[in-house]
Amino acid sequence: MKYLTLAVGLGVSAAAVLVVPGSGATASMEQATVVDRAHPVANRYLKQRPAWQPCGEKEYRTYCAKITAPRDWANQYSGNDIQIAVSKVAPVKGKPSRVVFGNPGGPGGAGLGMAPYLASQAPLAKDHLTVGFDPRGTGDSTNVTCQGAPGYTMDARDRDPWNLDLIAEASQLSQPYCDRQSRGLLPYVNTAQTVQDMDLIRQLLGFDKIDFVGYSGGTWMGAYYQTYFPQHVGRFVLDSNTDFTQPWINTFLGQPEAFERRFREDFAPWAAKYDSELKLGSSSRTVIRTYERLRAALKAQPAVEEFLDGSIKISYDQNTLDEIVSGDMYTKIDFYSLAIDLAFLRDLSAAQTKGGPRAAQRKVDALSLARQHQLVRRASRETVGLRPLGRIVGDDAEGATFTAVTCNDTPWPQGREYGDQMAGRLGPKYPLLGWGVNENPCFYWKRPNLTMPQPTGKGLPTTLMVQSVHDPATSYSLAVSAHNRYAGSRLVTVTREGDHGIYGGVNKCADKIVNAFLTTGKAPAKDVTCVGEGIPAPSSPPVGTEYEAGQQGYGDSTPLRRIAGFTKAVSGYLH
């Protein structure tokens, strides 16, 4: 029997601010005075010839290869090499005049699917070689792992000292697990190393400049590539932006407010508007009360049910509920699925309270197999885009890479004091995520001796930034902050919209601006606003419909989900 639990897991980042007085910063943090820089590439890496081979279905026209890169770009002759998986799609006719790289974010998201995804955008398919890659640490590249590290299975809202002790102990144990099992690679999984891998790919492909489309955590990668390699920068599009001009903490501290806003100002009024069908409450307040009452009930008595003739068991507790709610905030297309799942869990919990576990199990057994499959898929679906604080991460390599990048790149206060204080401050205002900001390995992480140059945008071509105003994972305020600090950037704001990941089907106005920029180099003369298309009325996908990106059908207009589907389709062909 496979046991599937959605308890909060390892690998997500939470809060911090550079160094706070009394935070107990470690010596390794205080001595991080080396400014990392781009290093000349040794000939043995430049002379390699990637062995390209078809990957995925023929219709994707995608070729993949592995290239060799040094584990540490500052020590290229140490003999400790790693492998980076790369994908490409060429135009149907003629030789490409430009190359466009892509990254889906995470950080740590596997990116081989970016090549066929970008090639599926008709304006790019004509002249661009489209390129994706799995960043070091994840996907088909050399992996890091945190397998076996303790997860955050406790309730983040519980402020009892013993519970805070458990959170601190789980956070403190993360790095020893990750480091021991990652065979020395963990300190070198950071953005400074990754952008040099990226530039090696550029050189092996034979292009002087690259264009770039980065989503979510990929905006961080894109800005740092521009900073390290300004002479090779072409047309860069940064979509759903981190504040890449500030430490990672600033981005993650913006999440509790942004997720709460998306839930309270977008989902709850929408659900209330269609109460006659959804039956979650006739006002925003009653919809939120439904969630809070259900959360309390599942904490008091979790529901552990068997699905698919007992082959899979799912544990529903308060953390499971928070996972479902926060995970469905990324795209409005998931609002209907969230509504029917909340109603199901409410009825399941009520049946258990009244009739015990057998009554609850009978309610599951009465579902069609297609609906059970649907619930199992949703329970195990990975987040696409920048992950929330303290939440599960799905694939271990992606989660370990997420942790390594966010903890290695920029300083965090050390010790539990700051995280506990921030959780106490943010939790009451933003309970969906705010209580969990202390669930974070970075508060105990011994960083490598690394100080990366701060991205400023000075001396660069125009950078096009795209952002929805109610994005839950990367708050609109972050995009504005980065835009104000990033010289020469233009911001495309999408109002009446909260999707995370815009370019590629969410908003026609934004797509038109991005495609014009990528194909002609023409950027808006000033910041522009596109009006969102609103949240659609409830419409269910056929029961049992797959949520696979890259496939036609329900959800195929969500860019990050399509990229994830393409990545799944073209991965696993390299050995």
106-124 in b/e burial notation, b at 16+ Cβ within 10 A?
A: bbbbbbbbbbbbbbbbeeb
Query: pLDDT digit string (tens) for 233-243?
Result: 999 999 999 99
Task: Work out the average pLDDT over 10-37.
Answer: 39
Non-local CB neighbours of 465 within 8 Å, separated by 6+ positions: 219, 237, 238, 239, 241, 479, 482, 483, 486, 489, 490, 491, 492
Are the CB atoms for 15 and 418 separated by under 8 Å? yes
pLDDT in tens, 311-361: 999 999 999 999 999 999 999 999 999 999 999 999 999 999 999 999 999
Give the DSSP per-residue string, 344-368.
Answer: HHHHHHHHHHHH-HHHHHHHHHTS-
Three-state SS sequence of 486-546: CCCEEEEEEECCCCCCCCCCCCHHHHHHHHHHHHHCCCCCCCEEEECCCCCCCCCCCCCCC
Residue 307, C-beta contacts closer than 8 angstroms, at least 6 positions apart: 313, 314, 364, 372, 375, 376
In Å, how far are 171, 279, 413 from 26, measured between CA atoms? 16, 52, 9
Q: pLDDT-derived band of residue 2, with 50, 70 and 90 as boundaries?
A: very low
The pLDDT, as a whole number, for residue 377 is 83
Residue-averaged pLDDT of the chain: 89
DSSP structure class, residue 442: G
| Residue 402 contacts residue 387 (beta carbons within 8 Å) | yes
pLDDT at 421: 97
Residue 393, pLDDT above cutoff 70? no
Question: What pLDDT is stored for residue 388 in this prediction?
Answer: 61
Domain chopping of the chain, boundaries? 43-144+191-247+460-570
Q: How far is Cα 228 from Cα 546, in angstroms, rounded to an integer?
A: 41
The amino acid present at 467, given as its one-letter code, is Q
Single pTM value for the model: 0.92
Q: Does residue 12 surpass a pLDDT of 90?
A: no
Q: What integer is the mean pLDDT of 112-127?
A: 94
Whether the predicted pLDDT of 13 surpasses 70: no
Which CATH architecture describes the domain 43-144+191-247+460-570?
Answer: 3-Layer(aba) Sandwich (3.40)
Asked if pLDDT for residue 552 goes beyond 70, the answer is: no
Query: 555, 507, 519, 564: which is closest to 103 by C-alpha?
Result: 564
Residue 45 above 50 pLDDT?
Answer: yes
CB-based contact 123:504 (threshold 8 Å): no
- In this structure, are residues 67 and 83 in contact, taking their beta carbons and an 8 Å threshold? yes
> Confidence band (pLDDT; 50, 70, 90) for 551?
very low
